[in-house]
Amino acid sequence: MASFNLKVNGKSHQVDVEDDTPLLWVLRDHLGLVGTKFSCGIAQCGACTVHLNGNPTFSCVTPISSVGNSEVTTIEGLSENGDHPVQKAWEEVDVAQCGYCQGGQIMQAAAFLKQNPNPSMEEIDNAMNRNICRCGTYHKIREAVAEAAKNM
């Protein structure tokens, strides 16, 4: 066991966990931030996507010991009132079916649009290809990212 100081959604937290514990499980089991989802555990599906210093990161394969002073942002902290342009676009386009992957999709899209606020459809497809949606809401995800881009 080791003690780690984390900065998550602008707040400092101290957790005592093994140093190989993935950030995903620190968020979910130790900080109660369950908006970041577990699905594959091997960086294949993107349900666990968070931002590390603004970069989209698969938290399921990110050991807590590697996080250091990085600013962690989760879906709960993407915006104070759930009104980030990507969240608004997701609501406007009514993207979700089951909804389980959508937090990760939103985090992927938000990081992507911050780096590329005027993407082509092809660039959207490439960025969002990292995240799986088993319900097949890809058309709506694509539409919502394009919609969000208008308001970034």
Partner 1 sequence: MKTVKRESRRNFLKAAGLTAGGLFIGFNWSSCDSPKVEVLSTEQVLANAKNFNAYLSIAPSGDVVIYSPNPELGQNIKTSFPMVVAEELDADWSKVRVLQANLDTEKYDRQLTGGSGAMPHSWERLRKAGATAKYVLVAAAAKAWNVPAEEISVENGIISHKGSGKSGHFGEFVGKAAQMETPEEVTLKDKKDFKIIGTPVKNVDAREIYTGKPLFGLDFYREGMKNAMVQRAPFGMKIKSVEDGAARAVAGVTDVFRFNNSVAAVGDSTWPLLKAKKLLRVEYEPDGTVESTADHDRIFQDLIASGKAEVKREDGNVKTAFANAAKVVSAEYQCPFLAHSPMEPENFFAHVQGDRCELIGPTQTPDRARQTAAQILGIPAENVTVEITRLGGGFGRRLRADFVEEAVHISKTINAPVKLTWSREDELTGGAYRPAVRYRFEAALDEGGTMIGYKLRGVGMNAGNSTRENNFPSGAVDNLLIENINYESSITTNAWRAPITNFLAYAEQSFLDEVALEAGKDPVTFRLELLDRAKNNPVGSLGYDVDRMIGVVKTAAEKSNWGKNPNVKQGFSVYFSHRSYVAQVANIEMEGGSPVLKKITAVTDCGMVVNPTGANHQVRGGIVDGMGHAMFTNLTFDNGTPKQTNYDSYRLIRMKEVPEIETHFLDTGYDPTGLGEPALPPTGGAIANAIFAATGRRLRSQPFIEQKEFSDVKLEIRRS
For residues 77 and 10, the answer to whether their CB atoms sit within 8 Å is yes
How big is the CA angle at 98 (ends 8 and 111), to the nearest 5 degrees? 35
For residues 132 and 44, the answer to whether their CB atoms sit within 8 Å is yes
90 sits near partner 1 (criterion: CB under 8 A): yes
Options 4, 21, 147, 149; binder of partner 1; rule CB under 8 A: 21
Least distance (Å) between residue 92 CB and partner 1: 9
25 sits near partner 1 (criterion: CB under 8 A): yes
Residues facing 8 on adjacent strands: 11, 72
Options 55, 115, 129, 151; binder of partner 1; rule CB under 8 A: 129
CA nearest to 127, candidates 111, 140, 143: 111
**Binding residues for partner 1 (CB under 8 A):** 1, 17-18, 20-22, 25, 28-30, 32-42, 44-45, 47, 74-76, 81-82, 87, 90-91, 94, 96-103, 106, 121, 125-126, 128-129, 131-142
